[in-house]
């Protein structure tokens, strides 16, 4: 029942382009539950380090899309040959900004890949069904919809870290 409820809420939020007051931790938990079909076949672990009472007035569907794409990229790319990947997600409010930090302990990427990661159609899995649109979608939501920014840092075999800054 919880899975069906999470699917419904994530679907409604993603199809509606409306802002509303919502608890960011609850939205992220719903996304994780909705991805259970993919996650349950793995030993990957996702930790949310988010204040239980952190509410914002924004677009929950856009946040769901961002988190879904980040998690799926970690699973498909970062944890490609790793059975027990770890993802940590932190949020913090500083002044009038939301800072969202997402990091995993996956295979990481070199500087060349980091420079192209947000380009449309850039993928390291062209022969394996990758479209190269996931990170471009995230970039466009953050920069165009939210007037925010996203930065990436990574090293080979040391995972990846994204810092997202969004005005509230």
On the question of pLDDT at 6 being above 80, the answer is no
Q: Which residues pair with 153 in a beta bridge?
A: 161
On the question of pLDDT at 1 being above 70, the answer is no
Antiparallel, parallel or unpaired: β 160-167 and 97-104: antiparallel
What would the mean pLDDT of 14-41 be, rounded to a whole number?
87
CA separation for the pair 137, 115 (Å, rounded) = 16
Closest CA to 75 of 64, 86, 65: 86
Instruction: Give the pLDDT score at 133.
Output: 79
Mean pLDDT for all residues in the chain: 88
How would residue 124 be classed by pLDDT, with cut points 50, 70 and 90?
A: low
On the question of pLDDT at 8 being above 90, the answer is no
What would the mean pLDDT of 23-47 be, rounded to a whole number?
93
How would residue 162 be classed by pLDDT, with cut points 50, 70 and 90?
A: very high
How would residue 4 be classed by pLDDT, with cut points 50, 70 and 90?
A: low
CB 126 within 8 A of CB 132: yes
């Amino acid at each position: 029942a919880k899975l069906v409820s999470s699917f419904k809420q994530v679907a409604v939020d993603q199809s509606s382009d409306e802002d509303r007051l919502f608890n960011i931790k609850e939205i992220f938990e719903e996304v994780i539950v909705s991805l259970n079909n993919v996650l349950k076949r793995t030993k990957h672990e996702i930790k949310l380090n988010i204040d239980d009472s952190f509410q914002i007035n924004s677009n929950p569907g856009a946040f769901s899309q961002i988190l879904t794409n980040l998690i799926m990229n970690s699973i498909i790319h970062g944890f490609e040959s790793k059975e027990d990947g770890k993802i940590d997600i932190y949020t913090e409010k500083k002044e009038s900004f939301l800072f969202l930090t997402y990091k995993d302990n996956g295979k990481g990427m070199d500087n060349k890949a980091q420079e192209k990661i947000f380009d449309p159609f850039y993928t390291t899995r062209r022969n394996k069904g990758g479209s190269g649109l996931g990170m471009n979608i995230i970039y466009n939501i953050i920069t165009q919809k939210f007037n925010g920014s996203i930065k990436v840092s990574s090293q080979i075999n040391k995972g990846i870290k994204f810092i997202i800054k969004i005005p509230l």
